Amino acid sequence: MWFLCVFYHRLLDYRRPEVEALAELFGAFGGGGGNGGGEGGGGGGWEANPRKWSLEWKLPENHHVDSPFHFVSLPSEEIARNIANRSILVKGIYELWGQGINYEELEKAVREFPDERKLPYLTPESTFRIVVDSFGKVISFEEQNERIQGLSYIPFQGRVDLKNPEHKFWLIETDDYGANNGLPPVVQRTVFFGREVGAADRKLLPTYQLKSRKYLGPTAMDAEMAFLMANQGLAQKGKLVYDPFVGTGSILVAAAHFGAMTMGADIDIRVVRDGRGPDCNVWSNFKQYNLPSPISLLRADNNLPPWRPGLKEVFDAIICDPPYGVRAGGRKSGGRKLLKGAVGPYTVPEEKRFDHIPSTAPYSLAECVHDLLDLSARMLVMGGRLVFFYPVVREDGVTNNTQFPEHPCFTLIASCEQILSFRYSRILLTMVKTGLYTAEIEESAKKQHLEFKENHLKWLEDGNLRSAVFSPAESQMASLKLERDSKPKYRGKYV
């Protein structure tokens, strides 16, 4: 069934993947689902062949892909409603009753829409309201009322209830803009009329906003993004979500909100165990929202994890924001001077061992990502998801095609760019575990680990993202000034 899906106009790359992830969650692709709590649901239809993770999408005629208006095919209204209600970026999913380039065409289309699909929602016992909405323009209150009066050809028989109607109808208008005003190049004016099936609950955002979070760190994940990550990871009741770079727990808070059990680790014990006091730590973040605390928090090094040999396929999702060395540098154990070759191997004397704080060394992005992929390949269940941010450097304000990390156990199903500055973006990668963690893969990972250890310095120099982001920009400023006038006004992915 085709539905009109209207998005909030932001985080453009994240919109369709979120809907597709939630479609998987609610059983659109067959297999375990329903409301996500099905017995033995596991990876959701894992046994079904062939595996698919994407939906069919269409654009309205003459609309650019960045337009907020999309048509999506979903198996049922119930699934559409579940997806919309749990999403963050879907402004509404509607059963389209008609569309047109003007109101005459719209009327014709709505009249032609089959009566048996319209009448059940126009009964005398029902309550309804009509919302007039627009994209990229303002419609005054008087004009809105005029438009509503103009719909009198639709036989509404129910009672109007503005606060809590059973049925909500939307009349949405957008004009033709070209590429001005920072809006997408929608070339043609369009008017839509439809019945609302579901909509995002944006009230989540002010509730969870970082502004009022008890315990924050410099890289705490913004609430909206944390919810998007939790949706990409299919966080739900009965599932176990792990964050190997937990920090203040901002990502786990979102997963816990959706009912998942959570677990986290961090190499910095002060962040995880102490926080800033008894009322200002990771536990207080969960208590603040009445969410169950993580079932486990530990201090561990992702480079030398403490898992028992043979342990595998434990987590349903691993959702994290690894340190890429721009705002927070990663660390790994092993003694920084030792790895640099500045000192020979040493033993910590017995009497000093008790509260010895081990020296940690810088952790390059390449090694960090390698370890994350290895950990995930081993510890995720089949069909489980790895969701993480990957930084990319932009050249002259353009993100060129980047090579994303790959691993034989994983299939990349989504990559969503968020432009952070002229110099760099971060890309949210969603990978599904589609291959078993074999002995060969384990061996090859061990070899790579040793390679990183032996060539520690070389990896640090090559992977220096921080200087690329923060170095002085004299040469770039000159070319910027020349280009400023010719740059298009369309904001694209800066939204």
Partner 1 sequence: MRLLTHNMLSSNIRGVVNGFPLGIEAEKVVEREVELSAEFLRGVFPKIEWGALVAGARALGHPDLLPGEADASMLASDDFLRRFHRALLQLHVEEGALVCPETGRRFPINKGIPNMLLHEDEV
Backbone φ and ψ for 423, nearest 5 degrees, come out as: -90, -35
Nearer to partner 1, 122 or 338 (CB): 338
CB 444 within 8 A of CB 451: no
Backbone φ and ψ for 121, nearest 5 degrees, come out as: -105, 5
Q: Which of residues 428-457 bind partner 1 (CB under 8 A)?
A: none
| Per-position x/- string for 218-247, each x denoting binding to partner 1 as judged by CB under 8 A, each - no binding | -------------------xxxx-------
> Minimum distance from CB of 1 to partner 1 (Å)?
30
| 150: DSSP letter | T
> Minimum distance from CB of 300 to partner 1 (Å)?
5
- Select from 157-165, 224-232, 271-279, 422-430 the region that touches partner 1 (CB under 8 A): 271-279
Nearer to partner 1, 223 or 253 (CB): 253
> Minimum distance from CB of 79 to partner 1 (Å)?
21
219, 359, 415, 434: residue in contact with partner 1 (rule CB under 8 A): 359
> Minimum distance from CB of 37 to partner 1 (Å)?
7
2, 346, 404, 494: residue in contact with partner 1 (rule CB under 8 A): 346
| 395: DSSP letter | B
Nearer to partner 1, 247 or 391 (CB): 247
The reply to whether 253 sits near partner 1 by the rule CB under 8 A is no
Q: Quickly count: other Cβ atoms within 10 Å of residue 361's Cβ.
A: 20
1, 160, 162, 348: residue in contact with partner 1 (rule CB under 8 A): 348
CB 14 within 8 A of CB 430: no
Nearer to partner 1, 332 or 394 (CB): 332
Nearer to partner 1, 335 or 405 (CB): 335
CB 24 within 8 A of CB 53: yes
174-178 own/partner pairs: CB under 8 Å, 24+ apart: 174/67, 174/69, 174/134, 174/135, 174/136, 174/137, 175/136, 175/137, 177/136
The reply to whether 340 sits near partner 1 by the rule CB under 8 A is no
The reply to whether 351 sits near partner 1 by the rule CB under 8 A is no
Question: CA-to-CA distance for 417 and 426, rounded, in angstroms?
Answer: 6
CA-based radius of gyration for the chain: 26
Q: What is the dihedral of CA 290, 258, 387, 16, to 10 degrees?
A: -130
Q: Hey, is 412 helix, strand or coil?
A: strand
| Per-position x/- string for 281-320, each x denoting binding to partner 1 as judged by CB under 8 A, each - no binding | -----------x--xxxxxxx--xxxxxx-x-xx------
Q: Hey, is 332 helix, strand or coil?
A: strand
143, 274, 395, 443: residue in contact with partner 1 (rule CB under 8 A): 274
Residue 331 has which token pair?
A: 């660390």
Q: Hey, is 236 helix, strand or coil?
A: coil
The reply to whether 273 sits near partner 1 by the rule CB under 8 A is yes
Q: What single string gives the DSSP state of each residue in 120-146?
A: GGS-TT-EEEEEEEEESS---HHHHHH
CB 81 within 8 A of CB 198: yes
83, 261, 317, 429: residue in contact with partner 1 (rule CB under 8 A): 261
Nearer to partner 1, 106 or 361 (CB): 361
Q: Quickly count: other Cβ atoms within 10 Å of residue 353's Cβ.
A: 9
Q: Which of residues 33-52 bind partner 1 (CB under 8 A)?
A: 37, 39
100, 158, 182, 334: residue in contact with partner 1 (rule CB under 8 A): 334
Question: CA-to-CA distance for 299 and 307, rounded, in angstroms?
Answer: 12
The reply to whether 335 sits near partner 1 by the rule CB under 8 A is yes
Nearer to partner 1, 311 or 478 (CB): 311
Nearer to partner 1, 274 or 443 (CB): 274
Nearer to partner 1, 1 or 269 (CB): 269
> Minimum distance from CB of 289 to partner 1 (Å)?
15
- Select from 199-207, 259-267, 418-426, 439-447 the region that touches partner 1 (CB under 8 A): 259-267
Backbone φ and ψ for 56, nearest 5 degrees, come out as: -90, 130
- Select from 196-204, 342-350, 363-371, 473-481 the region that touches partner 1 (CB under 8 A): 342-350
Nearer to partner 1, 206 or 292 (CB): 292
Nearer to partner 1, 197 or 265 (CB): 265
Q: Which conformational region is residue 397 in: left (phi greater than 0), alpha (psi within -120 to 50 degrees), or beta?
A: left
Closest C-alpha among 310, 79, 81 to residue 200 = 81
Q: Give the number of residues in contact with partner 1, rule: CB under 8 A.
A: 42
Closest C-alpha among 188, 187, 270, 255 to residue 223 = 255
Residue 367 has which token pair?
A: 């090694």
CB 153 within 8 A of CB 103: no
Closest C-alpha among 258, 307, 264, 299 to residue 283 = 264
Site of interaction with partner 1 (CB under 8 A): 37, 39, 237-240, 261, 263, 267, 269, 272-274, 292, 295-301, 304-309, 311, 313-314, 333-335, 338, 345-348, 353, 356, 358-359
